Amino acid sequence: MLWLPALIIWASVSHSCGSDLQFPSWFKFGAASAAFQVEGAWNVSDKGEGKWDRLIHRYPEMITDGSNADVACNSYYLWERDIEMAAELGLQFYRFSISWPRLLPTGFANNISEDGKNYYNKLIDGLLEKGIEPIVTIYHWDMPQMFQDLGGWANPKISDWFAEYARVVYSLYGDRVKNWITINEPLVDCDFYYGEVLAAKQEHFVGPYMCNKNVLLSHAKAYHVYDQEFRPKYKGKVSLANHLVWLKPYSNSTEDQELAEAARQFLTGRYTHAVFSKEGGWPSVVEEAVAKASKEQGYQDTRLPPFTQEEIELIRGTYDYFAMNHYTTRLVRKPRSSEEIVRSLFTYVEDLDAVLEMDPSWPVGYTWYTAVYPEGIREQIAWLKQQYGNVEILITENGYSTGGSNLDDDARISYVNDYLEQVLLSIEEGVNVTGYTYWTIMDNFEWTDGYNSKFGLYEVDFSVPERTRTPRKSAQYYAQLIKKRSL
Ligand SMILES: *[C@@H]1O[C@H](CO)[C@@H](O)[C@H](O)[C@H]1NC(C)=O
Ligand SMILES: *[C@@H]1O[C@H](CO)[C@@H](O)[C@H](O)[C@H]1NC(C)=O
Ligand SMILES: *[C@@H]1O[C@H](CO)[C@@H](O)[C@H](O)[C@H]1NC(C)=O
Ligand SMILES: *[C@@H]1O[C@H](CO)[C@@H](O)[C@H](O)[C@H]1NC(C)=O
């Protein structure tokens, strides 16, 4: 806490002459997308069905605008335009994901799709020709439906199947791809998908915790495959990308501060402690709270599946850097008496009985959950260093949503500028933040929000077959920022 007074002075000075804020030479800028959200071509060639294909076709009413991702940005065909946009922006890297069912139509590694393989080869080679580094997410929520039918991440065999898939990916592309993200935002894929989306959701968290454990084992096995079989010749890096909502106490009372810290362990620690902490395994506050709640609810055992010592060792330390997706902040408090609780991710932590809410003074983007609180990213980063030491941090997602057609997106520019200013302060404080990824390069299929929320630097016209991409004002701003390397 000693740095606080000095920091406040620095921050106020920096505001008055913001244009002097220079990024270090090693700091890298990129933008991101994900296969399911942009590719379309959902049933082309031998591509298998993914769990979101099935979900949306079966329950179109779940998507706010009733749309689907069958065509999306049509990037399966328009990949050359995507590379051109990355080059127009001057990106140093482009983060995209590989669709598991496109590359392995059955999910299993014994049948590799020729068309799937070639698609990602073209994308990777095209980026490299423009001098843009590919950062590749191996799994961004498109579980093969055949595995989902067997429980998906809730099935203990999934960690072996995922490791086999990862081996295929490394062996096809590892000569050119040096930065791998095994799994994107397991918090959302487990807690949201198993806790809220699946029709068979339980009264209390069971599926999300089974998913949580197996997703960590899956990441760890995929990490070890790289470490043992590919790192010696390819010398790349592997991590997993976590979704971090910064959580602040509602008041300065000891009770609220303890509750906020426990909530951080529930929302973040549950997916990071096993990998990044010295001791590994579940955060103890999570273990205790779930055991207590399970007992009160009359369950025989805790709903949180324990790790064996062997599993703890397998998962611990399976990272080369910390990949952080961050958009927003919440205040944490106990429910008020007779308060009606909305049970959803980002509003309530079930086993802690903690309410998460936005400060009414924070502006909100088009998407309801994206309250803007730029200091949150710096506070979040400081917490990571305090928890896990001086690990390299790559910001793998950060972005702002607007609604409707809108090329003059000053709010997006302010968001990026204000968050990056806080990132610079983090670097000033000695945290090793080595890059920033804007989510997203272009408007795309935003899951249950369909095409309503627009996070893109490029606007996409979804009403025409050409899926025309047009740069917004923020695209020009970002290109300038990358060129000048200062705010
Ligand atoms: C692929 O899906 C589209 C709907 O998006 C459908 O019209 C078309 O018939 C399907 N093609 C095949 C080969 O199944
Ligand atoms: C791979 O899967 C495709 C599509 O399901 C099928 O047509 C093909 O025969 C399979 N190939 C092998 C070698 O199993
Ligand atoms: C908590 O204390 C800090 C530092 O003294 C102060 O800036 C902040 O406004 C307080 N927060 C609340 C919610 O009272
Ligand atoms: C930051 O991380 C990078 C990559 O691991 C490393 O090369 C560099 O030395 C680190 N810098 C500091 C100041 O720790």
Q: Which domain holds residue 107?
A: 7-484
pLDDT tens string, the chain, 487 residues long: the values are 233 333 333 333 344 344 468 999 999 999 999 999 999 999 999 999 999 999 999 999 999 999 999 999 999 999 999 999 999 999 999 999 999 999 999 999 999 999 999 999 999 999 999 999 999 999 999 999 999 999 999 999 999 999 999 999 999 999 999 999 999 999 999 999 999 887 556 689 999 999 999 999 999 999 999 999 999 999 999 999 999 999 999 999 999 999 999 999 999 999 999 999 999 999 999 999 999 999 999 999 999 999 999 999 999 999 999 999 999 999 999 999 999 998 899 999 999 999 999 999 999 999 888 899 999 999 999 999 999 999 999 999 999 999 999 999 999 999 999 999 999 999 999 999 999 999 999 999 999 999 999 999 999 999 999 999 999 999 999 999 999 999 9
Q: Which ligand is nearest to the CA of 431?
A: 4
108: domain CATH number is 3.20.20.80
What residues does 149 pair with on adjacent strands? none
Taking CA atoms only, the protein residue closest to ligand 3 atom 4 is: 252
Active site residue 185: yes
Residue 16 Cβ contacting ligand 3 at under 6 Å = no
What is the whole-number distance in angstroms between the Cα of residue 252 and the centre of ligand 3?
6
Residue 105 Cβ contacting ligand 2 at under 6 Å = yes
What is the whole-number distance in angstroms between the Cα of residue 175 and the centre of ligand 2?
26
What is the whole-number distance in angstroms between the Cα of residue 42 and the centre of ligand 1?
8
Q: Which residue type occupies 424?
A: L
Catalytic-role residue among 39, 350, 397, 446: 397
Q: Which ligand is nearest to the CA of 322?
A: 4
Residue 407, both tokens = 């090329």
pLDDT at 403: 94
Residue 46 Cβ contacting ligand 2 at under 6 Å = yes
In sequence order, which residues have a C-beta less than 8 Å from that of residue 61 and are 6 or more positions away? Answer: none
Q: Are 478 and 456 in contact (CB under 8 A)?
A: no
Q: Are 182 and 218 in contact (CB under 8 A)?
A: yes
Q: Which ligand is nearest to the CA of 101?
A: 2
350 located within any domain: yes
What is the whole-number distance in angstroms between the Cα of residue 393 and the centre of ligand 4?
9
Taking CA atoms only, the protein residue closest to ligand 1 atom 11 is: 43
Atom of ligand 1 nearest to the CA of 44: 13
pLDDT at 149: 97
In angstroms, rounded to a whole number, what is the distance separating the alpha carbons of residues 35 and 12? 41
Q: Is it true that the peptide bond before 308 is cis, omega within 30 degrees of 0?
A: no
Atom of ligand 1 nearest to the CA of 70: 5
Active site residue 421: no
Structural domain tally of the chain? 1
Residue 43 Cβ contacting ligand 1 at under 6 Å = yes
Quote the pTM value.
0.94
In angstroms, rounded to a whole number, what is the distance separating the alpha carbons of residues 76 and 373? 36
285 located within any domain: yes
What is the whole-number distance in angstroms between the Cα of residue 445 and the centre of ligand 1?
18
Atom of ligand 1 nearest to the CA of 71: 5
pLDDT at 20: 65
Give the β-pairing of 246-249 and 237-243: unpaired
pLDDT at 2: 33
Atom of ligand 4 nearest to the CA of 392: 2
Q: Which ligand is nearest to the CA of 46?
A: 2
Phi, psi angles (nearest 5°) of residue 442: -145, 155
Taking CA atoms only, the protein residue closest to ligand 2 atom 3 is: 46
Catalytic-role residue among 49, 185, 350, 421: 185
**What's the pLDDT tens digit per position in 94-152?**
999 999 999 999 999 999 999 999 999 999 999 999 999 999 999 999 999 999 999 99
What is the whole-number distance in angstroms between the Cα of residue 147 and the centre of ligand 1?
22
Which CB contacts under 8 angstroms, 24+ apart, belong to 441-444? 441/31, 441/32, 441/33, 441/82, 441/85, 441/86, 441/89, 441/94, 442/33, 442/38, 442/73, 442/82, 442/85, 442/469, 443/73, 444/33, 444/34, 444/37, 444/38, 444/72, 444/73
Q: Which of 246, 241, 131, 227 is nearest to 186 (CA)?
A: 241
In angstroms, rounded to a whole number, what is the distance separating the alpha carbons of residues 328 and 377? 8
DSSP H or E segment with residue 134:
strand 133-139
DSSP H or E segment with residue 324:
strand 322-325
What is the whole-number distance in angstroms between the Cα of residue 371 and the centre of ligand 3?
19
The DSSP 8-state label assigned to residue 343 in this structure reads -
190 located within any domain: yes
CA angle 19, 32, 332 (to 5 degrees): 80
> What 3-state class would DSSP assign to 98?
coil
pLDDT at 92: 99
Atom of ligand 4 nearest to the CA of 321: 5
> What 3-state class would DSSP assign to 446?
coil
Residue 111 Cβ contacting ligand 2 at under 6 Å = yes
**What's the pLDDT tens digit per position in 221-254?**
999 999 999 999 999 999 999 999 999 999 999 9
